[in-house]
Structure 1
Amino acid sequence: MTDNTHDSDPLGGNVLSIALICPSEQRRRTIVSALNNSHAAIVREYSSYPPTLKEMPRMLGEKSFDTVIIDLESDVEYALELVEFVASTTSTTVMVYTSRLDPNVMVRSMRAGAREFLSDPIDPNALSDALMRAGSRRTGGKGGAAKKTGGKLLVFLGGKGGSGVTTVACNFAVALVQECQQSAVLIDLDLPLGDAALSLGLTTQFSTADALQNADRIDTNFFSKLLTKHNSGLPVLAAPGRFPHVQATNDAIEKMLNVARQDFSYVVIDAGSRFDLTDAGWFEQADTAYLVMQAGIPELRNSHRLISEFFKAGTPKLEIVLNRYVKSSMGVDEEHIEKALTKPISWKIPSDYFNVRRMQNEAVPLALDDSSIARVLQDMARAACGMPPKPEKRKGFSLFK
């Protein structure tokens, strides 16, 4: 064990205490150097995994670390067991460190409870963001600092029933997990009877109604128990399967979302075709609202009304998503749509009846396919994470470069 602490606190009390468990000396040097350069961490190094899971608390000692970073390279299976043990028995933020950008390992890490995924070469900006999120999750730092609300709130709503809001929101959330290597949660607020769980093929025990009914006592531990994890690694809070006997007040919704944003980098809301957004503080706090619509006169009219009513102040940021887009057969062209809405179209999701029907029948997310719809959804998720679009696949091959 090496105690690599600093003598002073350059962030005025916001320095994180970090336990780094990494059997490889070379890899320890790499990540310790990156952490030291961040000026935001006090690091204690451990040069081996504990011999058994039960030895983990004894190895870490009585100190309560803000973050535990576990290297996966020496023994990925045992390391993931350690991740799950720490995540399930403490409130510590667990990060994993690996040189392999393996989507399967990333998904398994998140299922085990890892909050952040660090890979070689370490991106200083990504590391800084991960440390900031870890700092926001701790219940109190030096001086009793309060836990912050950190995760981005992304709301999907439709100009009319049948616009495809749930399909787009579900697949966008799956793409966030797959593409951005960040934690995300999908919350179905299309009350009383949303279809997000059905779209993803999930059978759920708890629902949004359980969270709203217990808004006064909800915390991150309680909230986590209400979630059902999709096999993509996406946790979902489903809408109730029957009419709920609970009033979904804006105050209750805001309390629930504040808790969700403490533990997840991205909170995706399927708001369906909600028009009760007046005085909804939670909606005004959203980072981005995605207005999903199709090219039809009724939807243009409704969407224009929504834009005029709820987006006059410029917050939240509005992105218009034109769903089931077919350029050659639209009754209204893009220029007239943008003129009617007074806003540009941000995203065009192509019409693909076969794949959408397959998702509905087989509950296989479109975002996991290699299709034109999947690429748009993946690029939407990457843009939300501040990442560039996926590079186009090169067609054919050449003997010359």
Structure 2
Amino acid sequence: MTDNTHDLDPLGGNVLSIALICPSEQRRRTIASALNSAHAAIVREYSSYPPTLKEMPRMLGEKAFDAVIIDLESDVEYALELVEFVASGSSTTVMVYASRLDPNLMARSMRAGAREFLSDPIDPGNLSDAMVRASSRRQGGKSAKKAGGKILVFLGSKGGSGVTTVACNFAVALVQECQQTAVLIDLDLPLGDAALSLGLTTQFSTADALQNADRMDSNFFSKLLTTHSSGLPVLAAPGRFPQVQASNDQIEKMLTVARQDFAYVVIDAGSRFDLTDASWFAQADTAFLVMQAGIPELRNSHRLISEFFKSGTPQLEIVLNRYVKSSMGVDEEHIEKALTKPIAWKIPSDYYNVRRMQNEAVPLALDDSSIAKVLQDMARAACGMPAKPEKRKGFSLFK
């Protein structure tokens, strides 16, 4: 058992105290060497696991370590039991180490309570970031960012209104047009289609976030996300019926963390009608009610507006989807009169391009169609930018 003390402290405070538990001398040297390079820790090395879980506190002694790194390679099952034991009994940051990045092992470690996953080769930048996060937790969150990101909710008046298509493409446009950090969260539970619409294969889902709401933080949240080629991070809905019931408190904890890390949190809420007591919905900045021009949609939209928007918060913007002026059975004037609200956005009907997106998972917001123009303008308006100027139409000498 050895102590390695370092003078430099890039964390802006006292150096971290770290317990390194690793039976393999070679792996222990690898991890210790990486920590030495970080210049931010006093490391106490342990060359064996405790004989039993109950022996762990006695082995570590009375010292309250800021972080405990547990090697998984020597005995995966027992090591994961140690992770869960330490994580459940204290606020100590638990990190795990494996020689290679194994998604399944990462998932199991995360569920056991690990907050950081280290693997070969240990990247100095990633390790430094992990140290910063551990330092933030040690200081009781004093260095954590304030929640300031805007929450933008997309709500459908009826199943099939196109809310997922609109929400996904709006979020892509937000990243592309505004150059802002944004995340798309699929709350259309239990089986939302945001990931499918964007052509993403995801490992984790909203269910993982909600099941682990009590230990949700920026690092944990980031590991649940899958990034689209456009640069948009996505938290997908589960691919099968989840075993967890989403409570408003769980959702609020997740969104609090998301707002810390992203300037805009875009939520695909699907056709939810359980928002009466949802404080997270009341805290949203803007709600986009997506509807089509039909009697069922008008009726449902009127009910939603009467029920959820009495107080004026969140701000309501009505999106008329699949708009065709000449063939609408109900004109815009009658729609606005029925809803007592103006139509903020009209997304034109374009069956070919929408079907192409559904089949090829190519976001509409990235092309040059009339739909893309509206979605881009919606995103620009949301982040305070003027609408995109119309492209000048050229002329030809030849008729």
User: Which residue identity lines up with residue 90 of structure 1 in the other structure?
Assistant: D
CA contact (8 A) 1:174 1:367 kept: yes
Secondary structure (helix, strand or coil) at the match of 2:321 reads strand
Match of 1:216 in 2: 214
Letter of the 2:203 counterpart: Q
Q: Which residue of 1 aligns with 2:368?
A: 370
Which residue of structure 2 lines up, in the alignment, with residue 379 of structure 1?
Answer: 377
Q: 2-side partners of 1:305 and 1:88: how far apart?
A: 51
> Which residue of structure 2 aligns with residue 298 of structure 1?
296
Amino acid aligned to 1:245: Q
- 2:235 and 2:318 map into 1 onto residues whose CA distance is 25
SS at match of 1:192: coil
Q: Secondary structure at the match of 1:155?
A: strand
Q: How far off is 1:318 after superposition?
A: 0.3
- State the match for 2:178 in structure 1: 180
Task: Provide the C-alpha distance between the structure 2 equivalents of 1:394 and 1:144, rounded to a whole number of angstroms.
Answer: 52
Matched, 1:90 2:157: no
Q: Deviations over 1:179-234 (max 9, x none)?
A: 00110000000000000000000000000000000001111100000000000000
Offset from partner CA, 1:81-119 (integer Å, 9 cap, x none) = xxx9747742799xxxxxxxxxxxxxxxxxxxxxxxxxx
How big is the shift at 1:147? 3.7
Match of 2:224 among 223, 226, 242: 226
TM-score normalised according to structure 1 size: 0.66
Is the alpha carbon distance of 1:89 and 1:375 closer, same or farther for their aligned partners in structure 2, counting shifts above 3 Å? farther
Amino acid at match of 2:205: S
5 Å-filtered alignment, 1:142-161, equals 144=142, 147-161=145-159
Looking at structure 1, the residues matched to 257 and 367 of structure 2 have their Cα atoms a distance apart, in angstroms, of: 32
Q: Equivalent residues in 2 for 1:5-20 (5 A)?
A: none
Is 2:322 aligned against 1:324? yes
In structure 1, what is the Cα distance between the partners aligned to 2:127 and 2:320?
Answer: 41
Q: 2: distance between equivalents of 1:280 and 1:172? A: 23
d(CA) in 1 for partners of 2:389, 2:127: 38
Over the residues paired in the alignment, what is the CA RMSD in angstroms?
2.8
**What are the Cα deviations for residues 328-347 of structure 1, in whole angstroms up to 9, with x where unaligned?**
00000000000000000000
- Paired position in structure 1 for 2:346: 348
CA distance in 2, matches of 1:398, 1:176: 35
| Aligned counterparts of 2:208 and 2:229: Cα–Cα separation in 1 | 23
Secondary structure of residue in 2 paired with 1:216: helix
Change (3 A) 1:139 1:398: farther
Structure 1 runs of 4+ off > 6 angstroms?
Answer: 138-141
Q: 2:201 matched to which residue of 1?
A: 203
Amino acid aligned to 1:177: V
Aligned to 1:128: none
Partner of 1:235: 233
CA–CA separation in structure 2 for the residues paired with 1:378 and 1:322: 15
Alpha-carbon distance between aligned partners in 2 of 1:167 and 1:159, rounded to the nearest angstrom: 14
TM-score by length of 2: 0.66
Q: CA-to-partner distance for each residue in 1:35-75, whole Å, 9 max, x for gaps?
A: xxxxxxxxxxxxxxxxxxx99x98x987xxxxxxxxxxxxx
Q: Give identity over the alignment, percent.
A: 84
| Structure 2 residue ranges without an equivalent (≥5) | 1-11, 13-32, 41-122
AA matched with 2:289: L
Q: What is the distance in 1 between the residues matched to 2:244 and 2:281?
A: 20
Given candidates 288, 296, 309, the residue that maps to 2:286 is 288
Gaps of 5+ in 1: 1-16, 18-53, 63-83, 94-137
1:315 equivalent in structure 2: 313
SS at match of 1:168: helix
* CA 1:181–1:335: 2 relative to 1, 3 Å: same
Give the alignment partner of residue 242 of structure 2, picking from 241, 244, 247. 244
On the 8 A contact 1:158/1:272 being kept in 2, the answer is yes
> C-alpha deviations, 1:277-317, integer Å up to 9, x for none?
01100000000000000000000000000000000100000
Paired position in structure 1 for 2:357: 359
In the alignment of these two chains, the number of paired residues is 281
Deviation of 1:389 after TM superposition, in Å, equals 0.4
